[in-house]
Structure 1
Amino acid sequence: MSENIEDINYKEVIEYSLEPLIVHSQLKIIYINEAAEKFFRASKEEVIERSPLDIFKDTSKPAITKRISGAYSKPAEVIEETIYRMDGTSVDVELYCHPIKIGDTRAIQTYVRDLTEKKHLENIRREMVKKINELALTIVPLLGGIAVLPLSGTIDQDRASLLLELVPVNVQKQNVSKLIIDCSGIYEMDSLVIDSLFKINNVLKLLGVQSFITGLRPQLAADAVKLGISLEDIITFSSVKDALHFSGVDYTITDQR
């Protein structure tokens, strides 16, 4: 049996939606669904007639007021905000609102998506990545104050920041006087990698640590010139073995088989 779409009771559709939904007009809440009651930890009677601005931080209210004003004519972009429930607890949410008409009244329908679980998972992932990166940035001591820092994979902004944070600390902890930074395992030499190596070299120099960079591809020099970065003060070698030989270490690989 076919049904006319006009026969659908849309109030029932939004009432039983799993996502919190608010309808407001002229800065007064005129409706919330059941999910919104649970989310805001308050009954409809406690929320209706209140201003939708009440849930926002004072610093956010001017921008939200402007956003609401524009949403009467067209849907607003999805944003992330920290809002307050009726019991005073704060929560990070994603907000989406669009214009609707209730009879002759212009109103705005706002969807609220709780980001608590998403943020929690993001924090766990960020911590895991940080721990993995910390392990990947382990300085390997050799002898006579010489150590090697083998870099591999991809260096993104977070890992570049971690390099600048951890390498100077670790060389001091391990009393390193000469550090070989081996880049042979890095997938791609981009501007971020070049800039990171340049900054690390300068920081180590200030600490009295001599640094050598090995495993650089020929394209690096050309890329550095394009970025206006001079490699004149950076000592480079094709391999870790060459850097050790330069440092006066007799590096001989013995076949143990």
Structure 2
Amino acid sequence: MNESLSQIDYREIMEYSRDPLIIHTNLKIIDVNHVAVDFFRATKDKIIGASPLDIFQEASKLAIEKRIESAYQQPAKVIEETIYRMDGTTVEVELYCHPVQIGTTKAIQTYVRDITELKEKELKQLEIMKEINELSATLVPVLNGIAILPLMGSIDEDRAKQLLDEVPFKVQEQDINFLIIDFSGMYTLNSVVTDYLFKINNVLSLLGVRSIITGLRPQLALTAIQLDYKLDSIPTKSTVKQALQSLGINQNLTIPLDIE
């Protein structure tokens, strides 16, 4: 197979890619596919001949140059970077590059994957989790001296530790005598997180605050037993309503939280 035929075949392969592809050697772009032309918002003539380093922020260029040099020997690991398009706009991308042989030329092929939408989804998810976590540390007052701590979603070890740090201070600030800790909104728990959550009860007891646990699912109860917690020493009820009734609260009382 002659060199020109090899190049034509390779160019056809490049055009099948849905991601922008850049071929460069000696820090000079020698070819791109049509997706890259659209992605970088420039003509092919303007892109070819430019340095692949031009798309990177100044702080990243030295590391990227070293990465390109090492990629001539073996594929580089996937990384995330903020890069520039030719019109000056920035975009979050995932980059992967590996060595290729174009005829007699040893070059680097770089895949550019736009992850802007993925990053936006991750950010929204983080914001949602932040709201859930903040709500998870909110004491909902019912009457003077009585409040509910609704635990919701999935709480990791860091969040569980934060609850252990925050809840005792909040019960003192709000002058709480009885705290209903409701587990019914919890989806997943591991032994470490469960340990932290049950320690909250121990700390509250030392502060003279009586806690009542509600919504304890069988799996969570089993985990607690495996951690050697004596559940028979902690008041437990199936629902928040039952816990309130055990404290002498009229069942017709309107509670500022929809928890059963």
Instruction: Output the TM-score relative to the length of structure 2.
Output: 0.67
Corresponding residue for residue 32 of structure 1? 32
C-alpha separation in 1, matches of 2:134 and 2:86: 42
1:122 partner SS: helix
Distance 1:143 1:34, change over 3 A: same
1:59 partner SS: helix
Give the letter aligned to residue 116 of structure 2. Answer: T
Does 2:22 align with 1:22?
Answer: yes
More helix by share: 2
Distance 1:92 1:15, change over 3 A: same
Give the letter aligned to residue 82 of structure 1. Answer: T
Give the letter aligned to residue 63 of structure 1. Answer: A
2:211 partner SS: strand
Contact 2:195-2:224 at 8 Å conserved across structures: no
Corresponding residue for residue 141 of structure 1? 141
Corresponding residue for residue 77 of structure 2? 77
Instruction: Output the TM-score relative to the length of structure 1.
Output: 0.68
Q: CA deviation at 1:176?
A: 4.2
Corresponding residue for residue 116 of structure 1? 116
C-alpha separation in 1, matches of 2:63 and 2:7: 38
The count of residues paired between Structure 1 and Structure 2 equals 238
Corresponding residue for residue 64 of structure 1? 64
Superposition map of 1:95-134 within 5 A: 95-131=95-131
Corresponding residue for residue 228 of structure 1? none
Q: CA deviation at 1:138?
A: 5.7
C-alpha separation in 2, matches of 1:47 and 1:165: 55
Distance 1:155 1:31, change over 3 A: same
1:45 partner SS: helix
Q: Which residues of structure 2 form unaligned runs of 5+?
A: 253-260
Q: CA deviation at 1:51?
A: 2.1
Distance 1:242 1:124, change over 3 A: closer
Corresponding residue for residue 197 of structure 1? 197
Does 2:216 align with 1:217?
Answer: no
Distance 1:193 1:6, change over 3 A: same
C-alpha separation in 2, matches of 1:96 and 1:133: 35
C-alpha separation in 2, matches of 1:186 and 1:175: 26
Does 2:93 align with 1:89?
Answer: no
C-alpha separation in 1, matches of 2:190 and 2:140: 25
Corresponding residue for residue 237 of structure 1? 235
Cα-to-partner distance string for 1:194-236 (whole Å, 9 max, x where unaligned): 354278679989xx7946362473643653x8xxxxx89xx94
1:9 partner SS: helix
